[in-house]
Homo-oligomer: A and B are copies of this chain.
Amino acid sequence: MTTPRGRAAHRSPIPDHCFTQIQQRVGVADTDLMGIVHHSNYVRYFENGRLEYMRRRGLPYKLMVDRGMHMPVVELGIRYRRPASFDDLLCITTRIGALSRVTVRFDYDVSRIEPAADPRDKLLEGHVLLACVDGRNRPRALPDDFVEGLFAPEAAHS
């Protein structure tokens, strides 16, 4: 109960500061013949969001890779509500949704910054569940320092 691992697993609910926002500009390559962002591209936007979530907490995902560990996606869900268009500036919000010994769930929502919009107007929500594995694809407990990082507030960033 006194280890970082124990503290993290029992912390409930997830602290309010456990979110990170990034901006994503929609390029031509992201659109399709409907003139909107192709639905597959949000999966990449989500990845950008959680990579930045970790980076701003001093534990970039690269550190996991350098230790021979990976966090493959084991579940993905998206509800698309409104389309985004070329040149829109989007806000991708990444939150910790849940944590187990081996897995972490990131919850997402996407809203539009430009053209000016009501920030409560969500374009879509989604979630991604990742599992920690070693180099042979066997489940591994999330490292303690990684769990601590997940629960930390953002450090200042440029």
Binding site for B on A (CB under 8 A): 25, 27-29, 31-36, 38-40, 43-44, 47-48, 51, 60-62, 65, 70, 72-81, 83, 86-87, 137
Out of B31, B77, B78, B83, which one reaches A72, CB within 8 Å? B83
CB neighbours (8 Å) of A80 from chain B are 72-76
CB neighbours (8 Å) of A35 from chain B are 33
List 5 A-B residue pairs with CB atoms under 8 Å apart, sorted by A's residue number: A29-B32, A34-B70, A39-B72, A43-B43, A75-B80
CB neighbours (8 Å) of A61 from chain B are 28, 87
Minimum CB distance partner of A35 in chain B: B33
Given A39-B73, A76-B39, A87-B60, are A33 and B28 neighbors across the interface (CB < 8 Å)?
A: yes
Contact (Cβ within 8 A) A77 B74 = no
Contact (Cβ within 8 A) B29 A40 = yes
Q: Which 9 A-B pairs have the closest CB atoms?
A: A40-B43, A62-B87, A39-B73, A31-B33, A33-B35, A76-B78, A77-B77, A29-B44, A74-B80
